[in-house]
Chain A
Amino acid sequence: MTLALTRRRFLAGTALATILPIPAVAQGKPVRIGLLTVKTGPLAQGGLQMEQGITRFLKDRNSTLAGRKVELVVGDTGGNPAGAKTKTQELVERDGVDFIFGPLAAFELLAITDYVAQAKVPIFSLAAAEDMTQRRPNPYFVRASGTSAQAMHPLADYAAKELKLKRVITISEDFAFGYEQMGGFQRVFEDAGGRVVKKLWPPIVTPDYTPYLAQIGGVDAVVQGFAGSNPLKFMKQCRDAGITLPVLGGSVACDDALLKSFGDEALGIVSCSGYTADLDTPSNKRLVDGMVRDYGNIPGIYAAGLYLSGLVAEAGLEKTGGKTDDKDGLIKALRAVSLTDTPRGPFHFDHFGNVVGTAYIRRCERKDGKLVNTTIKTYPNVSQFWTYDEKWFLAQPVYSRDYPPLKS
């Protein structure tokens, strides 16, 4: 017996296929997500976690969103603007991706924002640059993680009102993310009656923080906004130098994924983040368990941020019936997404495409021998403008090294 495909059999087969219920959304080619990540160099840690987050999400969904198969195309930017630009062009022009996830760093995002807006590709980035959703918005941008200052506003509120701190020194890297974080902290903290007496800006690459640590004193607390691996070095050197002041931290300064690398020096850090691994919702439990099973570590803001972006893309696709051709309809649908059960709790987007969601104040503790961030207060519906009027907020200069200025 041969398995020759006769014309009759072929016709019968195709006829059968046409009468079988095919989902209306089924299109020939799969939905393509282009991931801009960093796999080498100092930013690699965050980049790898981003990839883990989105891979985890696609596994949870069996690589199918809104009835359509999904393909992930990964581009390594090398952590620099030129690489980001090249990879973005490749993803858009050669691979024809429908969404871009990433990049990690603000300077990468700034290098490609005009290009992706022109190409009309929806882009989900974790880069926190304020003006991307404020004074220089990109209509195709969606940010499920938040702006630099978005977690610092509630942290400052908590510091002034609940911790009753009066005077603090801030310290963060000498670049835009640091300025914006500390600017946000200062505005809210000083509006609540506190006072930032000094702002220290060590370069991003600082092997030894002692020259800065030596300038810390005469205050109630230290606010640090370090990123990457710098929080580890800073906290260790800070406690080694005998500084026992309370330490407050931004969203990545005491990131959940970093906890396994920390020692006792991290105990007591009060930090604020839009994502916390200890959030008790079914969907967060699934994310945390999956990450621990696949990668042996709990997710931090990078992995969770990409997982959340995946959720938003899925919800948007469901609204468009799986269609991605109408770019303006797609971005409209994405920005209208409002979810309740997610790893970061309920959230929606403002008209700039920036997330409005819960902010979690956590305290770092040791439980069963492990360091954990335990949520001690939640601020629901935190927007990038905090409680300020949007018009007033946008009329002010963007947070910078010298803005708001120190009060003399």
Chain B
Amino acid sequence: MNLWLLLAVNSVTLGGLLFLLSAGFSLIFGLMRIPNLTHGSFFMLGAYLAVTLIRRGFDFWTAAVLGGLGVAVFGGLVERLLLRRLAGAELAQVLVTLGLSFMVADACLMVWTGDPIQIATPPALRGTAAVLGIGFPTYRLAISAIAVVFAAALWVLLDWTPLGAMIRAGVDDPAMARVAGIRVSRLFTIVFCLGAWLAGFAGVIGGPILSVYPGLDQEMLPLALVVVILGGSGSLVGSLVGSLVVGFLYNFGQAMFPELAYVVLFLPMLVVLVVRPQGLFGRPAA
């Protein structure tokens, strides 16, 4: 019984982390149609930047916000200088973002060496908290809480603010949005930076659990892809549900059918792709 509860809570935690990572990915893909394969690198880069900031004496949360900002600036530059020129050319975008991810990985290797680096858990969140009589690592519960807060904030942003309305308009019909006077190109940069910030931030708060090491980017990217394909691109609810589904599939799959862990993870993705290519909550392509 305890095993199942523990797995359930861990699924939610992993889902929370994946939500932060994939919400940005989903927005970028939904709005700009860019399959951004550097998204895993944003995650890793954020964590590495935070490592340096923490070594310079910043506390964990400041480092998380600033690390995310650093990644957002980098993301903005990538969008302005590279991806903008490739609008509509999906193959070129895939190749450029994939190439960039390799370059970021090598740069990180040069700067932070190949040694895995552990990010210390913030002192206030160490230890375990008792929930229903079972001890759970406090920090994991905190990640779930952070994800909930961000989900709510993003929901408010997208559904209740003018910026959100513009983004939604851009996702639904970019050409029409442009005609209606929305500066879609500025919107693209904002969304790309926001997505990059979320990924970088996720990398930092994932740090105490996952640690940072070369290859982390390539571990996280497929999970984000599965989330977005399951949930549907450009949909916040889709990202949230997709993240939780992947969190549960991952945890329970590995516990119950360890030999088939990857099958359990990727089979639902295949089924969704065949039966409902736009994802559970996505809209069919126009």
Residues of A within 8 A of B (CB): 39-42, 44-48, 200-203, 205-208, 210-212, 214-215, 228-229, 232-233, 236-237, 240-242, 257-258, 260-263, 297
Contact between A40 and B120, CB atoms less than 8 A apart: no
Contact B115 A260 (CB under 8 A): yes
Q: Is the CB of A208 within 8 A of B255?
A: no
Closest 8 CB pairs of A and B: A229-B116, A42-B215, A45-B114, A44-B114, A211-B254, A211-B255, A229-B213, A210-B10
Provide the B200-211 mask, 1 if CB < 8 A to any CB of A, else 0.
000000001111
Residues of B within 8 A of A229 (CB): 116, 211, 213, 215
A212–B139 alpha-carbon span in the complex (Å): 19
Kindly specify which of B77-85, B105-113, B146-154 makes contact with the partner chain.
Answer: B105-113
Complex CA distance for A115 and B137, rounded to whole angstroms:
51
CB A80 to nearest CB in B, in angstroms, measures 13
Question: B226 an interface residue at 8 Å Cβ cutoff?
Answer: no
Question: B7 to chain A: which residues have CB within 8 Å?
Answer: 210-211, 214
- What is the number of residues of chain B that contact chain A, defined by CB distance less than 8 Å? 40
Collect the chain B residues with CB atoms within 8 Å of residue A257's CB.
115
Whether the Cβ atoms of A40 and B106 lie closer than 8 Å is: yes
16 contacts between A and B (CB under 8 A): A40-B109, A42-B213, A44-B114, A48-B113, A201-B258, A202-B254, A203-B262, A207-B210, A207-B219, A208-B251, A210-B7, A210-B10, A211-B253, A214-B6, A236-B208, A261-B116
Inter-chain contact count A-B, CB under 8 Å? 108
Query: How many angstroms between the C-alpha atoms of A212 and B211 in the bound complex?
Result: 18
Q: Is B135 an interface residue (CB 8 A)?
A: yes
How far is it, in angstroms, between the C-alpha of A106 and the C-alpha of B163 when the chains are bound? 54
Please state if B251 and A42 are interface contacts (CB–CB under 8 Å). no
**B211 pairs with A236, CB closer than 8 A:** yes
Say yes or no for B52: interface residue by CB 8 A criterion: no
| Chain B interface helix/strand/loop/mixed | helix
CB of B3 within 8 Å of the partner chain: yes
A216 to B252, CA, bound (A): 15
Q: Assess the A263–B118 pair: CB atoms within 8 A.
A: yes
When the two chains form the complex, which single residue of A42, A208, A242 contacts B209, counting CB atoms closer than 8 Å? A208
Residues of chain B touching chain A, judged by Cβ–Cβ distance below 8 Å, are 3, 6-7, 10, 14, 105-106, 109, 113-118, 120-121, 128, 135, 137, 139-140, 208-211, 213-215, 219-220, 223, 250-255, 258, 261-262
Q: Are A240 and B137 in contact (CB under 8 A)?
A: yes
**Complex Cα gap A205–B114 (Å):** 16
A-side contacts of B262, CB under 8 Å: 203
Chain B residue with minimal CB distance to A45?
B114
B128 / chain A contacts, CB cutoff of 8 Å: 240, 242
With beta carbons under 8 angstroms apart, the residue of A47, A200, A232 that contacts B116 is: A232
Would B214 and A44 count as touching, CB distance under 8 A? yes
Complex Cα spacing A45 to B262, Å? 26
Cα of A345 to Cα of B41 in the assembled complex, Å: 43
